[in-house]
Structure 1
Amino acid sequence: MFPWSDPRRKNVPPASQVLVKPKHQTGTYQEDIVVGDKIEWTKDVERERRKELRQRSLKAKHECEKDDRGRLRRHMGKVYDHLKWVTEHALIYCPIFKAGSTTWMKNLLTLAGEANFNASLHAKVTSLYPTPNGRQRIENLLQKSLKFMIVRHPFERLLSAYRDKMLRVLKTEDPYRQTQLTILKDYGHIGTNTSAPGALSNGGASRENSHPSFLQFLYKVRDDMKFFWKVMDGAVVDPHWTPYWYSCAPCQIQYDIIAKMETLDIDQEFIIHAANLQDTLVNARTHASKFDGYSDSETAANDYFRGVPLGLLKELEQLYWPDFRLFGYDADKYFKMTQGGT
């Protein structure tokens, strides 16, 4: 039995019987897509999902037990500050950027009765759900709360981060515009990945020499991650490509639910029911606006990864090895897409 399914646990009344709709939608995100209406939630469906989610948790635990050198252990103060402590609903969420985090930032704002969703979603949620005071309080909440995180294939996440952060047209003062320019300066000698038309177009406007190519971006990520493994807790890696295990410490916090973007519709439905929030939250997805010419993620992946050297992708797999092993992902499909793949 999961700790949060204990019948002695109090049923927390929903914050509201009506979903709070945003008053403002930024250009960064498309309109939310409601997916819950397509799911027939039955006891059998719930039972099967519970079984799958338990297997994921056990897989992560098993891989953690192999870490006899403690390479995957964190200083927990930083992890606790990263978590969202929704104490009123006995819920703890570990956000991972580019893995459903915007959807759940909106969900947490809804639980707080907030209706104005704007570009500072993450900062607002952090202020509303801070780290509790005192180690004993933290330990009690970790024991009694529903703890969940959402992951996705590490290479799909990198591609999503590139399409969102590197192809978007931004003002000069925006930090990600500065990141784009820095990558162009530091990795400009590396060829552009022109096999992916999305890397060059934005409504017909040329991006050449204006935005980094996917290949340049991946070399930047590789170098960031090499530095990360050298200094660990002293490293500063952009949150959109920080490793999952480093953000959420699954070897020290046993998450009740490890949801995946690949099955997010049904996983999210399970989270909402398990947290007794089905009268408050709508199972919906927030998608980033399109900054390239692709509407199909599979086609995009094939085109973008086709221009990546196999050796570089193998380096990245090794640098993200805990995320692959802990969460059951395989890189072979992407190796076959690359230059040199078979």
Structure 2
Amino acid sequence: MSNRQRPGDGGRASMHLLKMSKSRIFQIGGIMASVFMILLIIFYWDDVGTAHFYLHTAITRIQVTRLPPMMDLNHDRLNSKTSAEERTPSSEADIIQDDLDLTYAENSKGYPKGGNALDTEQTFDAISVPSLEEKLPGFDLGIDYVKTKTDFEWVQNERKQKIRDACTDSSITFSGKNRNFEDIPNKELDHLIVDDRHGIIYCYVPKVACTNWKRIMILLSGSLLNQGTPYHDPLEIPRDLVHNSTSHFTFNKFWKRYGKFSKHLMKVKLKKYTKFLFVRDPFVRLISAFRSKFGIKNEDFYSRFAIPMLQLYANYSDPPSSVNEAFFAGIKPTFVNFIQYLLDPRTEEDMPFNEHWRQVYRLCHPCQINYDFIGKLESLDEDASYLLKLLNVEKFVQFPPSLRNRTVSSWEEDWFSKIPVAWRRKLYELYQPDFVVFGYPKPTSLLFG
């Protein structure tokens, strides 16, 4: 019997195999269910988030934003206009006189009174938007009548069509134009701010009212709290927090949260969310960047950029080590030095352009991202109002009202008067994609004058 199978052994073996098979089936089934759930979370995470967004916008929007009712814009503008001259810091009068762009209502609470470097910089930096009361050569800046919804739609369609035309025109070439979105380096996506609450993506462009648009995004997303409660007024948010990278959830941060699935999630959000940016005449933006970063005391920009400019283009072998010493001695880089710096091939060999003068097409990738709204600083007030209505948040947040100031006529010609025509043409070549993509006319008077 030792070499024979005992009675019942075959049945027990069959039962054992059956139990093992069932166990194996349950194990495999558990593994497959786990994989399915992981894939479901990865591929449909944003659908859940978007459904949450629609629920809140339809039912509990006031609880989400907790914003005050609309203010009287005309009243604020009149109050601001009354005391604008009194608030202008006398220490910067030689810079600001007859060359004011546009002062935000942020400053209507009073300009600093003692030439404090930080306060003065914040005041000056806010004055960076061209007056809507003047018209630059080539396009209309006026708001002479109340536009209808159809008018705004027509303007937006025209702006978006110009982008499509430029991006598909083989005769127009610039770096990164033909690459896919997946090929854009993660570090180049740091200007795309995401608000998952309302399904909004904003590509911010420095020197194009980005401070206040960032404030709007913080307020809508609830990314910052004031002593445990959401901010009620965009202008309550301090400037240092507005420009702190930790205050915003940007595309370049997706990698840390989503890993290798980050680009897929970006594409999902780009497809579902409303995407917008604001642009500005490229040469005027350069003037504004120079004035705010080198026309007043800014220790960081002095050490990083002004000192090299003074050494390379202004014959200062040993410029002052601090911005206070330099300003006391009357040593500053000129606008000519700044243009030399931009045109010097060595500049970008060392590092990419700083965001304040980097081309918009390099910041916002208009050939890879199909923007739903393109605003312009030259029509800021009406564009901002229309955009907030499109986003369905106009009852709960308003773009900070602005105070218009008189600017000198033909100020571009004044700023570029000492720039050789050959340099102007090279500068235009450097920024030509922004002119063409965003529909700004070629500055013929500067290039052939």
TM-score by length of 1: 0.75
**1:262 and 1:146 mapped to 2: Cα distance?**
22
CA deviations on 1:168-210 (whole Å, 9 max, x unpaired) are 1234xx24444222211111049xxxxxxxxxxxxxx988851
**Residues 75-86 of structure 1 mapped to structure 2, 5 A cutoff:** 75-86=184-195
Aligned amino acid, residue 298 of structure 2: L
Q: Is the 8 A contact 1:24 1:118 kept in 2?
A: no
Measured in 2, the distance between the counterparts of 1:299 and 1:40 equals: 21
Give, in whole Å, the separation in 2 of the partners of 1:297 and 1:257: 30
Q: CA deviation at 1:227?
A: 5.5
Q: 1:66 aligns with which of 169, 174, 184?
A: 169
Residue aligning to 1:97: 206
Aligned to 1:214: 335
Alignment of structure 1 residues 20-59 onto 2, 5 Å: 26-27=119-120, 28-29=122-123, 45-59=148-162
SS in 2 for 1:119: helix
Partner of 1:335: 446
Distance 2:249 2:144 in 1: 32
Q: State percent identity of aligned pairs.
A: 24
Question: Which residue matches 2:10?
Answer: none
- Could you say which structure has the higher helix fraction? 2
Distance 2:297 2:168 in 1: 44
For the 8 Å contact 1:151–1:244, the answer to whether it is kept is yes
1:281 CA drift (Å): 1.9
Matched, 1:110 2:219: yes
State the distance in 2 between where 1:40 and 1:324 align.
25
| 2:286 pairs with 1:164 | no
What letter matches 1:77 in structure 2?
Answer: N
Go from structure 1 to structure 2 and tell me whether the alpha carbon gap of 1:86 and 1:286 turns closer, same or farther (over 3 Å shift): farther
Of stretches 294-303 and 269-278 in structure 1, the one that deviates more from structure 2 is 294-303
Asked whether the 8 Å contact 1:24–1:117 carries over to 2, the reply is no
The structural deviation recorded for 1:109 is 2.5
1:117-168, Cα deviation, whole Å (9 max, x unpaired): 13342225x5432334333322221111110111111100110011111111
- Counterpart for residue 198 of structure 1: none
Aligned equivalents of 2:360, 2:401: Cα separation in 1: 20
Residue 62 (structure 1) shift: 1.2
- Mapped contact 1:57–1:258 kept (Cα < 8 A): yes
Q: Unaligned 5+ residue runs, structure 1?
A: 1-7, 191-204, 288-293
Q: What is the correspondence of 1:289-300 to structure 2 with a 5 Å cutoff?
A: 296=407, 298=409, 300=411
Aligned partner of 1:197 in structure 2 is none
Secondary structure class of the residue paired with 2:201: strand
What SS is found at the alignment partner of 1:276? coil
Contact 2:199 2:273 in 1 (8 A): yes
Secondary structure at 1:241 match in 2: coil
By relative contact order (CA 8 Å, sep 6+), the higher-ranking structure is 1
2:383 corresponds to which residue? 267
1:244 alignment partner in structure 2: 360
Q: CA RMSD in A?
A: 3.6
Distance 1:108 1:56 in 2: 23
Shift of 1:295: 5.6
Which position in structure 2 is the counterpart of 1:121? Answer: 242
CA contact (8 A) 1:79 1:249 kept: no
Q: Is the 8 A contact 2:162 2:438 kept in 1?
A: yes
1:227 and 1:160, CA in 2 relative to 1: closer, same or farther beyond 3 A? same
Q: Distance in 2 between matches of 1:282 and 1:40?
A: 22
Q: 2:222 matched to 1:130?
A: no
**Residue 279 of structure 2: which of 139, 144, 151 is its match?**
151
Unaligned runs of 5+ in 2: 1-52, 71-104, 112-118, 133-142, 223-229, 317-325
